[in-house]
A and B are shown apart, each in its own frame.
Chain A
Amino acid sequence: MPYSSADASNGEAAIVDGPVVNRASIALGEALGRLEQGEKLSVPEAVELGAAVSEMMVYLTRWTQKAIDAEFREITQAIGAMKAEVGSLLPSDLSTTHLPIAERELGAVVTASEDAANAIMGAAETIIGADSDDPSYKELVDEQVTQIFEACTFQDITGQRIAKVMDTLRRIEARLERLGMPASDQPSAHQQASPAEADRWPSPSPAGEEGLLNGPAMPGEGIAQDEVDALFAD
């Protein structure tokens, strides 16, 4: 029976059911039965048996070779796909865009947190150092409290920046999973997050707003308030 790719996928059953194998098995079984009962095989019978066994050996060798070839082809394809995936990790938008952005976002978070902490401490120190008997004390406290409120706005901005970093981490996780290397056996941070936390992380923009929602710009980038005001002055 000529080898077909179905043989490899059918595995052992295909070998056992093959007419060549069946013929040789039957001939061998009969010969062994006769030998066990003290009978002897004639030379033509022995030659015929040898030919059947030989045919079976050729068949099995071919089958095994084809099966190994198919296995190797599959492995080669898998390695090729993995190479392409690994390759795509390096010059992709992940390494050229997302990771540098994530790094800058985290840097901006550190700076904003520090600035806010300093502003809040500065306002508190001004209040502590002020003379409460001074007639302008109330005004000074109001002014400093306003500065504390203003400084607290950093929390919203840093939240949005961290959301961008989380987005990058999710992209990395997805790439690793495609490579068959799950980042963790545990559910991802996003899966574990409370609905309120998850809501803070980026998700697809509503229809018609794609490209508009980018989160906070880096310091010195984006449009400044006076430029916005100029657009409204038109």
Chain B
Amino acid sequence: MQQLNWTALSIFVLLFGFVAWLGFAAGRWRKGDLDQLHEWGLGGRRFGTVITWFLVGGDLYTAYTFIAVPALAFGAGALAFFAVPYTIVIYPILFLVFPRIWRVAHKHNYITAADFVRGRFGNRWLALAVAVTGIIATMPYIALQVVGLQVMIGALGVQGQGLMAVIPLLVSFAILAAFDYSSGLRAPAAIAIVKDLLIYLTAFAAVIVVPIELGGYAKIFAAVAPEKLILAVPGPNTIGAYGSYATLALGSALALFIYPHSMTAILSASSGHAIRRNATILPLYSLMLGFLALIGFMALAAGVDKMPEYAQGFKTYGTNFAVPALLLHSFPSWFVGVTFAGIGIGALVPAAIMSIASANLYTRNIHREFIRPDCTPKQEAQMAKWMSLVVKAGALAFILLVPTQYAIQLQLLGGIWIIQTAPAVLLGAFTRWFNDWALLVGWAVGTALGTWMAVSVNFASVYPLSIGGYGLPGYSALYTVILNLALATALTPIFRRVSAQQPVDETARADYVV
């Protein structure tokens, strides 16, 4: 049985306390009228290059990522490294598309992707589809941040029965909810700085210290089973593991920035130029993620899963315990506290941004659009603040009441769902050619087929597609969004002929120029 690690716990609590104070204090940072939705929910669009770097980095590279990617390497080997090409390919997308979206959003006071789609295509139902997809895809993502926090608290040796077991989690989330409510996006922006510095410290310490302890990288990789060291070479008539690897990377990359939390963090930048600069400096996080993936192999080489003191952890959390176990095994207690706090706070930052983003979507694109069109800006901001609490409570209840496996499966489905909004959002930044109803049909078919694909292979992300006897196993999100786009393209001329009247595009060409 694992003992309570007092030194690590004290440092963990101390850093959490500091961050909580910072979250409340952040409300007065670059002061704005928090009764306006764009002030509460986008930090007044005032974050320069450096703050945006911390905020987007803290937002996209989540605690769950830091636990799950090494866990996948630990279990499945080379396949987990798709996270690296994935986080390389996202930056050209960020560079090319998002300065344009930032510009048009700034001009028309758009807060969400659905706001943009509403203005661009003039169809409230298409905007509703984008908003609902965003909210539903984000909820399980928040829930997984709770899982990340749970693993770290558990690894500190904090255990209990019944209600006692969940109190640390409830307290962390209550604090998070409170500073989110009072400070809005400024809170995670301030906290992200602390979190990122701690995570960098963790990653580079692990990459340098652990290999020395284990006798070099050659020994670490020798511990990996040969068939997992690189991808399996495909047999005849199939693209095999190569297909899975590349489509997972590309599909995840296309989906990433249209997630509501990414959109929120990007739109809070102070200019399109700040976003472009970030496309060149954010890859430092990808480098760190790549090194962190190697921690999975280090855990294999150290053999932490066979050590009796960690048996309970592996039993409770599965391979997700590989990272905390390795850190506990390799570092003195005080430093374990620092690293665990980094990952734990790493759960709070994205959870905060995700709940703000969902709240923005609900308020702007459902509440104001369909329920209370006449609400004042102050009522709008107040509604969003309440919604951010509801969303967090929902995610927490989900994790405490249903098996974690469901959250993981839903998050997988979330990736398939969110990518279906790519034609309207990403291509919408460049062209108004598509018919709004054609986009909606493409979205509906892509969503339905993608869901069916994932369910039919028991929630694996890779679908064994086969055309004319040739195997094309790949990420179902990518395959279904291609179909979605093809449908929208084919239906656009037809729909345009049927209905003479096109809805008005309230944006002008010049609104997009960076």
Q: Do A and B come from one complex?
A: no
